[in-house]
Structure 1
Amino acid sequence: MQWRVPMNGEQTAQDYEAARLAALVEYHILDTPQDPLFDEIVELAAIICQAPIAVINFIDRNRQWFKAVKGLSVRETPLDISICSHAILQPGLFVVSDTTQDERFTCNPLVTGEPFVRFYAGALLKSHDGHPLGTLCVLDEKPRELNDQQRFALQALANQVMAHMELMRSHREQKRLIAELENARREMASLAATDVLTGLLNRRALERRLRNTLASIKRGASPAAIVMIDIDNFKHINDNYGHPVGDRVIKRFAQRCRSIIRQADVLARWGGEEFMLLMPHTSVDEAYQAANRLRDKLARQPLVADIAEPLYVTASMGICSLKEANSLQERLHVVDQLLYQAKDQGRDCIVLEKSLPHIERSA
């Protein structure tokens, strides 16, 4: 097609066609299922214009596609036989009173063969920014004209087609924005609950999980265990190796902790070099076994190996139960005291609630 390009001094026919096709794609209309509203519009156009054929069509790159059609059994035709491809080159209503008398269409297969089109009238379907997308057209097998009322009605119905498409486009955009907002809300919620350095839950998020777990226990769930973990001599690591190495220690310590816990367990960075582990449906003795596995792993493998001297760390831990009769603040106070007792015993220790003499120290 040879486009009548707006005189903007720069835009070529190819640029204009690319912009037109981009505008068509924006409406997400091509190859969509039939829609009763569009079907009613072609029925109404056929009745008002007293035409046996009425079509809502869109001009794609190499085809003419019908969104709604009355009087034809096809949903698309090649672009080279489309009368509508000529209609969108013209401003306003495009009317061909007798196709056999118009040299553009005398050899058109739609004129020389079925459905033997003799009359055509098409009202432009224009995008919100003025690009011609297709037409609402009526066709007849005999030459004829439209009166003024029919011309007005055909264009008015075309405007309704575009109004509905604009509404559909707005709804899609609204859904997209709502989805983006929901994703942003989830991301913000995740960030608000996540420790940036380790990717673990932060203190606030873990306190919420602790409250929920305690509520479940009060409703009959099994008791849980709380493990407070502190990296020993962490200030010494920062002072001697620098904060970047200290950050690597924190991150890798978190990974080491993850390696010894179950899927149901909840690990969080409590603050600084302190971590907290919530172990649902777990006794203090069972939690001790997990804590001891962590201590053994720390002893066997350095946390940072790619420095002059591989860096090993130890950790002190306190473990208490979380039961129906407990309050959360009291439990947090108890586990904190147990941790400090482990440190007082020389670090690299695990102290269990109600087992203060039972202090474990690595060899």
Structure 2
Amino acid sequence: MPSNLDVCSAEYEEQRLQALADYQILDTPEESAFDDIVEVASLICEAPIAVVTFVDRDRQWFKSEKGLGVRETLLDVSICAHAILQPGLFIVPDTTQDPRFANNPLVTGEPHLRFYAGALLESHDGYPLGTLCVLDYQPRELTERQRFALQALANQVVAHMELMQAHREQAELIRELEATRHELAKRAATDPLTGLLNRRAFEQRLNQEVALIQRGAPPAALMLIDLDHFKRVNDALGHQAGDEVLVRFTDLCREAFRQADVIGRWGGEEFVVMLPRATVAEARHAADRLHQLLATTPMRDDISSPLFITASIGVCSLTGSSDLDGCLQKTDELLYRAKAQGRNRTVCES
């Protein structure tokens, strides 16, 4: 326990208040667990008033109360503020005979409190937080059994607070683990350069779409894109410049395609797009938009001659009877037909 000198210090009081704040108990709603403890304390001690109170900076706040009808009072009328300055039980048999409380407005006026007994509520590291107290309108004493029971019930208050804190920490840990799991799953499914789905994740999404189509969803379209002569960019400007071109091309894809369309990096300079609920003709229009953007948007304009690139594209349909591997192979064949016909064009299945 801290020394008496420490107890009187402002630093110690700040540490005590921080310990109280760590429990996140102040200004929380009423809870049956605390209400039950207050009821039992009132019954055992044969007291009309019982309170779980916490001593804040300038007030005492009641987590649960019986017989008072208020949730907080100013600190300057608090008997509990004196109780937390000593360990164990703090008992005032007759408040009118105690110079510390004889002029207290709660003693001289309503509700005319004459008896007080408070069991200390301590944090796990020994800071006094408040009390479980019982009060009466008549001067009196507690029996030894009542004293023991009051302290035991106070220990249960602290134990429940510790349990609540552990539950909050566990919930926070679960949220952090879930966020980490989500981030790891996202990284496992994402191409690190472009932020698009990687090949494995795209194939999973493609399988899902085919399954939906087989259950009656409208057909979709599949598009395979290859950047023309991309090796020349790497050879002339370096791989870092090549990476910048791939990122810029990704931005153009996001502009050319719908938000519902799924874009992935198939590998190297190859990209793949799945267009749900789209016909081959609609996919062809989207490919034309991409060609137009490529024709008017330099991939790099920080060099002497702005760099433009073109792309070859193959498009096929996804229907309920589609074989996924066969569809991917067909799209690949259409892509190479576009290259054979002179590149910078789209070839669709007939």
CA contact (8 A) 2:7 2:13 kept: no
TM-score where L is the length of structure 1: 0.92
Displaced runs of 4 or more, over 6 A:
8-12
Check conservation: 2:6, 2:12, Cα contact below 8 A.
Answer: no
Whether 1:283 and 2:291 are equivalent positions in the alignment is: no
For residues 285-306 of structure 1, the C-alpha deviation after alignment (integer angstroms, 9 at most, x for no partner) is 2211111111111111212222
Unaligned residue ranges in structure 2 (runs of 5+)? none
Q: Counterpart in 2 of 1:181? A: 177
SS of the residue 1:64 aligns to: strand
The residue aligned with 2:230 is 234
CA distance in 1 between counterparts of 2:6 and 2:67 reads 42
Alignment partner, residue 142 of structure 1: 138
Indicate yes or no: 2:92 matched with 1:77.
no
Q: Distance in 1 between matches of 2:147 and 2:33?
A: 21
Residues 96-144 of structure 1, C-alpha deviation per residue, up to 9 Å, x if partnerless? 1122222211221111111112211100111122211110001112222
Shift of the alpha carbon at 1:11? Answer: 9.2
How many residues matched? Answer: 350
CA RMSD of aligned residues (A): 1.8
2:316 corresponds in structure 1 to 320
Correspondence 1:101 to 2:127: no
Note the C-alpha offset of 1:62: 0.8
What is the correspondence of 1:343-358 to structure 2 with a 5 Å cutoff? 343-354=339-350
* Partner deviation per Cα, 1:233-259 (whole Å, 9 max, x = no partner): 212111211222211111110110111
Paired residues for 1:244-283 under 5 Å = 244-283=240-279
Of residues 78-87 and 26-35 in structure 1, the stretch that sits farther from structure 2 once superposed is 26-35
Inter-CA distance 12–107: structure 2 relative to 1 (3 Å threshold): closer
Consecutive unaligned residues of structure 1, counting only runs of 5 or more, are: 355-363
1:27 aligns with 2:56: no
Shift of 1:344: 2.4
C-alpha distance in 2 between matches for 1:74 and 1:23 = 24
> Who is 2:34 aligned against?
38
Normalising by the residue count of structure 2, what TM-score does the alignment of the two structures yield?
0.95
1:164 aligned partner: 160
How many percent identity over aligned positions?
A: 61
In 2, the alpha carbon distance for the partners of 1:16 and 1:204 equals: 58
Per-residue CA deviation, residues 50-78 of structure 1 (Å, 9 max, x unaligned), is 11211110011110001111111111000
Inter-partner Cα distance in structure 2 for 1:56 and 1:230:
71
